[in-house]
Amino acid sequence: MAGLADLSTPIMMGIFLGGLYVLIALGLSLVFGVMKLINVAHGDLVILGAYFAFFAMTGEIMGHRFAIFGMDPILSLVIIIPILFGIGFAIQKFLMSRAFGVSMEAPLIIAFGISLIIQNSNQIFWTPYSRGLTPPYALESFSVGAVHVPLIYLLDFIAALVVMLSLREFLRRTYLGKAISAASQDSRAAHLMGINTGRVYAFAFGIAMATAAIAGVFLGLTFPFTPTSGVSFLIIAFGVVIIGGLGSMMGTFIGGMILGLAQTLGGYFAGATAQMLILYILVLVVLAVRPQGIFGR
Amino acid sequence: MRVTIPRLRGGLIPLVVVAAVLAVLPLAGAPLQWFLYLFLFFIYLAIANMWNLLCGYSGLICLCLPAFSGLAGYTMIIGTWVGLPIYLGIIAGAVVAALFALLISFPVFRLRGIYFAIGTIVVPEALKYVFLLWRPVGGALQGGGAGYVLKGAAEFSTVDIYWLALGIGIASIFLMRLILRSKLGLGLAAIRDNDSTAASSGINVFRLKLYSFVIAAFVTGIAGSIFYVHQAYIEPLSAFNISWTMIAILGVVIGGLRIEVGPIIGAAIVTMLHFQLARYAGISLLIQGAILVGIMLAAPQGIMGLIRKVRASRSPLTVSH
């Protein structure tokens, strides 16, 4: 029989892993909250961030290797965040803004197209093989009593807290943040109050992609990834948002913890392949029982 | 107020004639290559028609088509391992797909609009892991990630499989005509335009949507099983792959969403793309994604919508909407 002491490791890892899931879900939640758009390309954009960090670290692209690189993945965020912000800004400004007027499903189909384009580009630039970000500290672990946890899991959790709190402060305190909140609550009223909603939307998408960049780098440090990994992380992000309830940042946080715990405990009791299945069934059950999420109104 | 639904022009006779010509094509000794093209066209046509029924006419943005085709394919192939004939296996697969649609309707039908899309995207991913874990028949070397081989595939020639695909392709066109001209079709149109008004005028919204969901699952199931008779092999990663959904969306969007002939044109173009892009396998997804984005921005009503618009602007008699 497994004792409680054995359980403390998966519980600890689950909570920390939940931090990574919160990080991935924040951008999805922001885009949904502001533009009511389900960005099905979110997972692929996160993976794109991971590939950018891979490129910055190894200099490998399309079979060539440029030795001048060798940046630390976390340090490379200084470059990757602006790039992904720009990509997000451009997607909203040039593609999505025109699709909103067409029909309800048009933005979704465009996001689907973008997802395919990014997946295929990642495959062209970095081959279909599994990649990972492995600076020396990614392999270290620390122990508290009987609990052994990889160091990177702790970093995931800290990054999630930092990004979440700074996003909250940004939305509360800055003019742009307040404008984004206003546009998400009532875009017509915000427009009448002199807020340029088109521009606000583009900024919101850009900021969501900036969080996706951070999520991508930490994801790459935690797990190996392939060009098609985006779909499974998209579904995890959906799960976090669904369980926590849309529009509630606290809910997103707790949703991430629940999914992280479900995955590590599922893996502990049922094995590695079954842990993803347990995750998906949990999402479907929550959808069936409480579609507005556990913390949704 | 008069309810108008865009309908297939012309009577039934041209369709029957075309179907008959296509059916006797193998007897006339057409080259074998044609049947591969046409086979894929009819499978895509059936799936695209069902997605048009779901998204275009029922307002259900359904991203779980691979769940139906994959489940049906697995049922049919596992059936051949326990001695079920392939013809019966195809029907059994479709029934399993329809029952599964009924089962998942409990969670996903509580969701509306865009939430429905999220709920359904989870389903094929979950099934993928079910079939990675579950080995209903065979030894340790079969099932799971290794997949199953169809037993008794030699009984079916390319032409036999072509006839099966022709059957489901043409049947899906007739089915769409039938549905859209029935009370179900009118009810669905009312729901799509405004579901609370439809509900208050006595339409059972839940039941009609469920009907079209189950019908779509059944037909997608048949098309999926026939595809796996052709492929003679099934494994979880490709069976529950999102590319099935993409084919359906691509076919409908290129041809024209909410237009009855849309999927016919769309499926033809998707089939052509499939064979043309085989040479550029490395960038085929990229091209398909770009087409999806381009069409949605430039001509959101697809090719048929564009043709209709041009025609309407030329004819002096039509009143513009």
Q: Is the dihedral of CA B32, B36, B37, B38 positive or negative?
A: positive
Q: Tell me the pairing of strands B233-234 and A64-65.
A: unpaired
Sorted by sequence, the CB contacts under 8 Å of residue B92 that are 6+ apart come out as: B75, B76, B79, B84
Question: Which of A2 and A80 is assigned the larger pLDDT?
Answer: A80
Instruction: Provide the domain limits for residue A276.
Output: 4-289
Residue from the list B107, B130, B282 with its beta carbon closest to the beta carbon of A288: B107
Residue A5 has pLDDT above 70, yes or no: no
pLDDT at A281: 87
A55 confidence band (pLDDT: 50, 70, 90)? very high
Among B100, B110, B121, B129, most A C-beta atoms within 10 A, so best to mutate, is: B129
Q: How far is CA A137 from CA A51, A72, A153, A163, A222, in A?
A: 19, 10, 11, 21, 11
CATH number of domain containing A170? 1.10.3470
For chain A, how many structural domains are there in total?
1
- The single-letter code of the amino acid at B286 is L
- Indicate the range of A135-144, B74-83, B94-103 predicted with least confidence: A135-144
pLDDT digits (tens, 9 = 90+) for B43-96: 999 999 999 999 988 888 898 999 999 999 999 999 999 989 999 999 999 999
Please state, in angstroms and rounded to a whole number, the distance separating the CA atoms of residues A66 and A120: 22
What is the structure's pLDDT at B169?
95
Q: In a 3-state reduction of DSSP, which class is residue A2?
A: coil
pLDDT at B11 over 80: no
- The percentage of chain A sitting over the pLDDT mark of 70, rounded to a whole number, equals 96
Interface-testing mutation among A34, A114, A117, A281, with chain B (most B C-beta atoms within 10 A): A117
Kindly state the tokens that stand for B51: 């997605």
β-strand pairing of B148-149 with B233-234: antiparallel
pLDDT 10s digits, B266-285: 999 999 988 888 888 778 88
Average of per-residue pLDDT values in chain A: 88
The reported pLDDT for the residue numbered A3 is 54
- Cβ-Cβ pairs closer than 8 A, A with B, add up to 119
Look at residue A12 and tell me if it is in a domain: yes
- Residue A245 falls within a domain, yes or no? yes
Residue ranges of B 74-113 with Cβ closer than 8 A to chain A: 104, 106-108, 110-111, 113
pLDDT at B2: 52
Residue B64: closest CA among B1, B3, B120: B120
Which tokens hold the place of B98?
Answer: 């329809």
Residue A297 lies in a domain: no
User: Is residue A295 one of the residues assigned to a domain?
Assistant: no
Task: Look at residue B202 and tell me whether its pLDDT is greater than 90.
Answer: no
Instruction: Report the pLDDT value the prediction gives residue B269, as an integer from 0 to 100.
Output: 92
pLDDT at B192 over 90: no
| Domain assignment present for A219 | yes
Identify the H or E element spanning A144.
Answer: strand A141-144
- pLDDT confidence of residue A163: 95
Question: pLDDT tier at A61 (50, 70, 90 boundaries)?
Answer: confident
pLDDT digit string, tens, across residues A122-132: 999 998 889 99
What's the confidence (pLDDT) of residue A296?
65
Contacts of A112 in chain B (CB under 8 A): 246, 249, 289, 292
Phi, psi of B271 (to 5 degrees): -65, -45
Distance from CA of A44 to the nearest CA of B (A): 13
Both tokens of A3, joined, read 């004792």
Q: What's the mean pLDDT in B24-52?
A: 90
| Min distance A9 CA to chain B CA atoms (Å) | 25
Q: Tabulate helix, strand, coil % of chain B (nearest 5).
A: 75, 0, 25
The full DSSP string for A124-136 is HHH-SS-B----G
Residue A162 reports pLDDT greater than 70: yes
What pTM does this model have?
0.88
Residue A59, judged by CB atoms within 10 A of its CB (0-12, 13-18, 19+), counts as: middle
Q: What average pLDDT does range A155-159 have in this prediction?
A: 94
Give residue limits of the domains in chain B.
16-242
Question: Is some CB atom of chain B closer than 8 A to the CB atom of A285?
Answer: yes
pLDDT tens, residue by residue, A220-262: 999 999 998 898 899 899 889 888 877 678 888 999 999 999 9
Quick one: pLDDT at residue B320? 46
Q: Answer yes or no: is pLDDT of B319 > 60.
A: no
Q: What is the pLDDT of residues A163-205, one digit of tens each?
A: 999 999 999 999 999 999 898 888 888 888 888 888 999 999 9
Structure confidence at residue B100 as a pLDDT band (50, 70, 90): very high
Are the C-beta atoms of residues B225 and B217 closer than 8 Å to each other? no
Instruction: Please report residues of A whose CB lies closer than 8 A to that of B125.
Output: 231-232, 235, 276, 280
pLDDT of residue A154: 92
pLDDT in tens, B284-318: 888 889 998 998 888 888 888 888 888 888 776 55
- pLDDT for res B321: 46
Low-confidence winner among B110-119, B123-132, B222-231 (lowest mean pLDDT): B110-119
Q: Is residue A156 part of a domain?
A: yes
Instruction: Determine the Cα–Cα distance for residues B29 and B37; give it in Å rounded to an integer.
Output: 15
> How far apart are the C-alpha atoms of A230 and B216, rounded to whole Å?
28
Of the residues A42, A44, A112, the best mutation for testing chain B's interface (the one with the most B CB atoms within 10 Å of its CB) is A112
Which is more confidently placed, B218 or A294?
B218
| Lowest pLDDT segment from A68-77, A93-102, A262-271, B4-13 | B4-13
